[in-house]
Amino acid sequence: FVWFFLLCLSVALRNLFSNATLIMELVPELPFWLGSKIVTLSIPFIIVSTLFYTRTVFRHGKASRLFRFLVAVNGLYALVVVLAPSGFYSVIFPSYLASIGLVFAWIIYLAVAAIRAKQSQAGLLFAGMLFLSAGAIVDSLIYLQAIAYPYVLPITLAGFILQNVVLLARRYAQAYRRAEILSHDLQESLDKLTCTETAFMNAQMKPHFLFNALTAIAENCESDPKKVSQLILSLARYLRKTLDYGNIAELETLERELEHVRAYAAIEQSRFAGIEVVFDLPDPLPPVSLPPITLQPLVENAIRHGLRPRCEGGRVVVSLSCERDQVLFRVNDNGVGMPDDALNRLTLLPQGSGGIGLYNIHTRLTRLYGQGLTIQSERETGTSISFTVPLKGI
């Protein structure tokens, strides 16, 4: 806190200039009257810093009339010390001590109110205020020559500051623990959100895709039973992955993700002549995990928007390569390509219900790995979509 720093600084200056022998050694040319003014001036600075610091610690947000009055009195006395001769402010100092007593009474009132409100560390603060108030009372009686005893306020101030250092350390430790808990809760929420987004991606399967797949199966039942058998198995694998809402993990193994892509590609190749899906993969596959339902929408996008508009079809190449500690995934097609304005909209949240697939994938990859999809396209040449993931997952 700023006010706690000013309180410590004021106490340090008072203790330094109160030691006449040390000051004469450090600053031998310093006039006695100036040193006396600095020592006296440190008192209202200590009181004002204590007022603001206490109000901050006890979370007493609104400044009351009494608080403003006490600040004004100390400010006025500091002004008198600066402008008036030492004889004048020494005469009014006993009256000023009464305002200091009122300050500590107000502070103890705040401490008691904080204890009743069960504020954190309020009891420790109350004990520190009592200790500091006792030192101020004793020093006031010594100054008024009511008792003969060495001044104890420097000791009580040092004890009060040390006690508050401990208090602030405990508060920061509690705040750090709360931040850790909030961070853990936030991570859990993000994990749940990722799973929800994956379920949403699964739910985006268009009904007409299922109808067309069943139609393709029906058309080949008599002419090519073996092909129908393979189509049914591919559709079963695709639906098992797509409709498994209750078993969605944050990351998926590469083998299972490729199985899903192959099932989808087999169905589409049976429906459309001239479409070829090629897998350019290393053997063995690298030990990498990636968000589920990541590659299949990229292949679907290449077929639907790149190859199907061409009468002669085309080719989609799914490839991956290891680069240092990362794996580069790439889905290329030699389709019709797309204009720049359409290219720039692919990773933005679309308006309406359509076209959310690539945006969803881009967002999930960015959240998990810090970077999303890289898309390049050229009209009548084709489109390339790539992304990288760490070699061993997150």
Residues 137 and 139: their CA atoms lie apart, in Å, by 5
pLDDT band per the 50, 70, 90 thresholds, residue 44: confident
Q: How far apart are CA 212 and CA 371, in angstroms?
A: 35
Separation of alpha carbons 13 and 8, rounded Å: 9
What's the count of helices (H) and strands (E) in the chain, helices before strands? 14, 7
DSSP secondary structure string for all residues of 23-71: HHHH-TT--HHHHHHHHHHHHHHHHHHHHHHHHHHTT--SPPHHHHHHH
Which of these ranges, 134-143, 271-280, 296-305, has the smallest mean pLDDT? 134-143
CA 365 – CA 306 distance, rounded (Å): 23
Residue 307 has a pLDDT of: 92
In this prediction, residue 21 has a pLDDT band, given cuts at 50, 70 and 90, of: low
Task: State how far the Cα of 174 lies from the Cα of 172, in Å rounded to an integer.
Answer: 5
pLDDT of res. 198: 58
Q: To the nearest whole number, what is the mean pLDDT of the chain?
A: 79
pLDDT at residue 141 in the model: 73
The contacts of residue 123 (CB under 8 Å, 6+ apart) are 115
Q: Is the pTM of this model over 0.75?
A: no
pLDDT digits (tens, 9 = 90+) for 304-360: 889 988 888 899 999 999 888 899 999 999 999 888 777 777 766 554 444 556 888
| Per-residue pLDDT at 394 | 45
Quick one: how far is CA 313 from the chain centroid? 48
**pLDDT tens-digit map of 213-223:** 777 778 778 77
Q: How many residues appear in the chain?
A: 394
Provide the pLDDT confidence category of residue 246 given band limits of 50, 70 and 90: low
pLDDT score of 143? 66
Count other Cβ atoms within 10 Å, centred on residue 129. Answer: 22
The beta strand positions in the chain, using DSSP E, are 252-253, 275-280, 289-290, 314-323, 326-333, 374-378, 382-390
